[in-house]
Structure 1
Amino acid sequence: MASTINEIIKESLEKLREEHLTLTPDNYTKVFCQVAKNRGVVMEDCQKVEKFLARLDTDFQQEAKRHKVANVDELLSFFTAKLNRLNPTESARLIQSLVLMSKRVLQAMSLLPNRRARTLASASLERLDVTQNHQSVELIKDKWFDFINEYDDSFMKKLDGFGPINKDDLESMVNDIYKLLRKENDDSAVYKTLAPLIIATLTPSIASSMNDDLATISYELRNSPEVLGSVAIQNDIRQFIKKRIELDKKEIQEKISALDKLLDDINTKILHLIDSSEHSTREVRGIKKDLEGINFSKDTFESIQAKLILIASSLESETSTLHQKMVTNQQTIHKLHTRVKGLEHALAEAKQEAKQDYLTHVATKRALQTEIDRVEEAYIRYKIDYCICFLDLDHFKNINDTFGHEAGDVILSTVGKILRKYSRQVDFVGRYGGEEFLIILPGIGLEQAVIFADKVRKVIENFKFIYKKERIAVTTSCGISERKAHRTKEEVIEAADKMLYQAKEAGRNQVKPSPQ
């Protein structure tokens, strides 16, 4: 036995050196007991902790094992901690804190979007408020154990089909679902894609009278694709298609009628040619009969030669006559065709002149009224605001009296070019009368319209109007009004005219309202 003890001591010292442990009583005792246990030697000193633990209550034994109490010092520390925790005052405080914490947890759980959890949390709070004893706590604990044991969250898997959703946090889950639903219901991208396609499908049309209606719908779709979702624009498109089909049918019928008339005219001319060549036909038949009547065996060479020359002369005469008549008729047809082309060109120019001022090349007053009706309809239906800008050249009568009307025409024409250059593509510029112009500015507010008008005023003021090597100073006054500030379109125009009057009364060469 002594030799075994010596071997255990020797092995323990070697193990301390291998593990680089300091040779202290605690380290030595721990290693010694471990080596002895490995060798199967039971040492009474190594069984002290187990003997002491065996005398304790079962709960204390299990708690000591959980804390891995391995030696006497650790056992004393364990007992000291237990004695400190058994302080009645401290225990009461701890229990009170735990109850309060439980209430706060239950209050938080009562806010969760789970009906069974809310009901159980409310019932638990009521029991804790009324009775706080071991039986109540055990009952509450069992109820919550049943809830956890029976809780089934398989319904959450239904969300997987919608896309990536964070199911670890309720707020994140709701936000993810909201984003997915919002993305699914966001039709703006679809409208932006469909709008050009719808415009393209509406564009081909035989009836040119539909171009103005098409321009109105195209403008609305390009600037506000989302209006495709409104019933009003859908009805407009349906009415446009229905009207275009009717007008296209009418246009085709008119063109077919014109073709029928032309074919009848050609048929009449062909019949006339046939009738006019009836005599030639009889002559040709006579010539053929003469050829058949030539007897080459009996007639002399001189008589045959004379008959052939006569037939050739007759053929040449008849052919020449027919050709001359056909040339004459062809010339008549060409003259008629040229005249029709001239009339079509004159009609196109007349239509253009009805819409465009001949001098300034901006819209006429009649075209202005049509455009005002169009933007007013867009305002009423879709609340697309617009502004009216009246622009009048200052002291224009003096310019005409001083430099002549030809100089005045040059200035008006140049001002028209300036207005066309500095206005947007969607703006509509027209000559309202004399030296007065009107600009329709859709889709902008009063402040932006005033900035535009003041910019044009400065350009005209600084522009070098030169007539016969002499510079003419030209200024302009402007009046602006905004549609949404008035009840009717007539009031908008009247308000812009009043602003123009105020600009002239204030000294001219300015914009009213004044820019900020």
Structure 2
Amino acid sequence: MEQKNSPIEAARQTLIQLMQRKLPPTPDNFRSVYDEIMGIKSVDQSAELGKALQKVLQQAGKKKPKYVAVAQAIGPLIENGDWAKVEEQLAKLFPFGTATSDVEEANWSNVIRNLLKQLEVSHKGVTLSRKKEGLSKVLVNFASDSDVLAQKIQALVNSWGLSGTSDAVVSSDNALAPDETTVPATTQSVTSTNAVIGSSQWRDMLLRAFELVIIPNLEAVPDIHQKAVNLFARMKKASNEQSLIICAADLKSILLSVEMQRDQQGRIHESLLQLLRLVLSSMAEMVQSEDQWLYAQTTVISDIVSKPVNLNTLYDAESSLKELVYKQAQLKPALTEAKDTLKKMVTTFVDRLVDMTESTSDYHDKIEAYQKKIETTDNISELNVLLNNILDDTRSIGLTVQRTRDEFLNSQKQAQAAEKRIDELTAELDYIGQVAHQDYLTGALNRRGMDEALEREFNRADRHNTTLCVAMLDIDHFKKLNDTLGHTTGDEALTHLVKVLKEVLRTTDVLARYGGEEFIIILPDTPKDEAVKVITRVQRELTKNFFMHNNERVLITFSAGVAERVGDETPEVLIPRADAALYKAKHSGRNRVIAAENLPETLV
């Protein structure tokens, strides 16, 4: 069930809503928002005064319609607290007391003089009888208010000069809008028709938006969802101002509930993401050295949740993860089979070795028995028999040894083939694992892959005592390219740059996307001057390979900074030095390569 807010919690939520809506914390604003949250309607003294004033004006309007118009006009103004406009509307009732009044006292001498003159003048399409008929209608409809009557007569006379458009002027519907009497009747009619059509269209669109957007978002909160459904039914049937005002009050309450529900869903979403990050981090540490299959999959998901999540990112990640799982599923049975084959070969080898040992042991036992018999016998025939048995046993053990030797050689070949197959499959799996460290868009290494590559190359440089350089490059005027040609074209430009980089860079160089339009290049066993030449060669190649957009050439350039590792410098120190050199290249005309040496201390 829906829980009622406590007064303290409602007050806290009121202050939050005032801040979010950027409203000053005035008593009226606080009371209005507080009532929305609590679902109540507190007594508003100014509103009560306004109702009393409206009632008096409505009574006065029975004799003078202009009071009715003012009464209808000040109602919304009092509700909104716009007292300046209320004063302005009331001033219309007393033209002698203010200079800003829209209604002036009638100068009847001028009105009658102009009326008589225009009655005698011939107007195209307006006969004298039609003029008299229109004047008669005006006198009947506006006789109760002399000021409005004078204005209507003057408007009627003016309309005769506009090819007889007096019908709308003499209509009693205009009695409540004296400030529009000078507007031609045809314009008023068209405007009124367009207003009705426009308001109907807006009503339909708002109802449809409420049905398709707000109601479905409340399905998780049954009580509020049912209120929204009931309100929608009432909104469709609303036919007067009072019913619309009631619906508007209920709508405010429901919209507030939607906002609070959205805020709660946002917090739940962020908490679940954080929980997933913790689980993935723990899993990655446990399986990194033992199960490369699961580690690669964990890495893919970790890369996803480490960045802002949107639908396109999830689709790309799902595709990459499916491809990774599919490739691993294809390779794993072959690797398992190769390992099982190797195990069987080792088992066979041990079994054959045992058999050979047993055969050799039996042979030695027989030889010792033959030796004893030879020592105790003098019979030549018996000696011949013993000699033949010795030859047979020797021949038998020889064949056994030869067979075992052949089996050993064959097993050795099979073991070598299985070992080679295992190495190939393992290398392929390692490559698939590396793909999980690639940036989805460009194919370069992502930040995780870059961190692992930096650690690997720095350790190698330490072991072999070799030099190492890091280059950081940034596409020139990339924001302008994005704003002019669109983000999709910007993505294609990044892909084009990476393609050219991979074609020019050496096989030992490592390319990674650092973020946005920035890239890191690791150049192992490369001194600074040589690294500058490599990056400059990439720049030249990029100017030759134009980026094509809608069959038009688009020149892409980049600025780069190169830093050589000094001593046992860590990536956390070396990369900022390369970034400082990049900064200098950007501010030296762009499309340049600057080495990080003799830089000002403020940049290093």
Give TM-score, length-normalised by structure 1: 0.32
TM-score normalised per structure 2: 0.28
Q: Which structure has the larger Rg? A: 1
